[in-house]
Amino acid sequence: MGCTYSMYGLGRNKKSTFPEVVVYVPSTRIPVQCDIQRVLKGIVPQDLADSLSSLRNQIALVAEDTGGSAIAELQRALNEYMSVLIGLTKKEYGLEELIDFKWKNLEDGQQDSSIANTWYEVLSALHLMAMLTLAEADSLMIPKDNSGSGFRVVSSDSKREAIDLLLKASGYLEFCVRDILTRIPAETKKMLPKDLQDGVLEAIAIQALGQGTEIQLGLAVECQKATLSVKRRLACEQLIYFSQAYHYLSGCDINQGHGKKHIRFIKWKFLEAKAAAYYYHGLVLDKGNEPSSHIGAVSCFLAAEELLVECKKACLSFCLAAPVTRAPPLWGVMKHLHQKIPEVASRKSQMYGYLLQQEKGLQVLPDLPEFQLSLRPDDYELPVIDPAWDSNNWEALGQPLKEHLRDSDENSSD
């Protein structure tokens, strides 16, 4: 769906304003109604077929009617649906490839897939849960300004809650890559929509960790007790996350959908993280007593200043890519750095100008330090299978399931 169109009323009824983006939501896909009851009639108990059908249809209708903005309601329905759905994945029932599951892109309404594989349905449902969680984090980072002053404040509690949601979304996506895609046959994988490529899922999962680190760095800037070393570490970690996300996404087929806009977002955030990393590394180096330390520091400040210029270009490129969006007002660490970097670069260049003239051979941009990454995706496990799958209702069918399936196969071959 790109940039959380639905969160700001730009779902089916588009307004003249463009949505803002803090946490980027690359794509939201929703189920297309299908006749599950007819396919499962006489194969599973009627209440199970009804439950699967009604929950899936509920998700489709609510997502369609609200443009995806009814996040809490959709998450509840998805969790309940998942508990019933995973019963179809059990090999002993032989139902994994019985239902043709259809999904479409929420923004343009175009159906992107129709695949008869239950693990594909689990993958799509988890992907939707991840996108809704990212959208919820985005809404926390873009508070409404009811005063009309244009001045908005995001509370520390909202920022911490947004970080928790980013880790949760990352956990959903990591589970998709590690535990769901591995269960889907290779031939079926070739039919998956571009949004469900393993590289795309990995990129979004890592991007979420990078944005969580970005918020942490903003909190550190606001905290008087946070040391310079902590800020540098967070900036360097953020840079690593976005570098990894770019690596995964650039290896995918991203010429369709929102792939181009997605990679422009990651490039923009990568440049912001790099500017922050060089700035804080420069401050650390500047505490040294050797001329080489001061020269290295100035080189870092000047590099950070150049990167700020590139950040503005990358942000504009991202915003203008379809679907057109707005960047939020400067916030967090970048609000601080857009003021500090030019100021410090100018002052330190003047202060150590004589060293730059004397030691031209030392004017090499220092390497940034490497750190072990701190944030990890939340652990996710599939819910417990709905008790209806173990009920005595199976006996009411009058014919064992495997015999029914065997009879159906024989009839279809005649």
Alpha-carbon span 77 to 60, nearest angstrom: 10
Alpha-carbon span 134 to 251, nearest angstrom: 23
Amino acid at 364: V
Q: What is the pLDDT of residue 246?
A: 96
- Residue carrying the six token digits 């991202």: 318
Helix axes 228-250, 259-285, angle to 10 degrees: 150
| 214 contacts 269 by C-beta, under 8 angstroms | yes
The Cα-based distances of 364 to 139, 252, 282, 340 in angstroms read 42, 35, 13, 22
Alpha-carbon span 114 to 94, nearest angstrom: 19
Which residue segments constitute the domains of the chain, with CATH numbers given?
1-196+384-414 (no CATH), 214-369 (1.25.40.280)
| 87 contacts 93 by C-beta, under 8 angstroms | yes
Q: Which residues pair with 114 in a beta bridge?
A: 102
Q: What is the pLDDT of residue 412?
A: 47
- Residue carrying the six token digits 């899936």: 56
Alpha-carbon span 337 to 308, nearest angstrom: 9
Alpha-carbon span 340 to 63, nearest angstrom: 43
Q: What is the pLDDT of residue 18?
A: 85
Q: What is the pLDDT of residue 2?
A: 38
Beta carbons within 10 angstroms of residue 364's beta carbon: 10
What does each of the 414 residues of the chain score in pLDDT, given as a tens digit? 334 333 333 333 444 478 899 999 988 999 998 889 999 988 888 889 999 999 999 999 999 998 888 999 999 999 999 999 999 998 888 889 999 999 998 888 787 889 999 999 999 999 999 999 999 999 999 977 655 555 678 999 999 999 999 999 999 999 999 999 999 999 999 999 989 999 999 999 999 999 999 999 999 999 989 999 999 999 999 999 999 999 999 988 877 667 889 999 999 999 999 999 999 999 999 998 887 888 889 999 999 999 999 999 999 999 999 889 988 888 889 999 999 999 999 998 888 877 766 665 555 789 999 999 999 999 999 999 998 887 665 665 555 455 554 554 554 444
The Cα-based distances of 49 to 36, 52, 117, 389 in angstroms read 7, 5, 16, 11
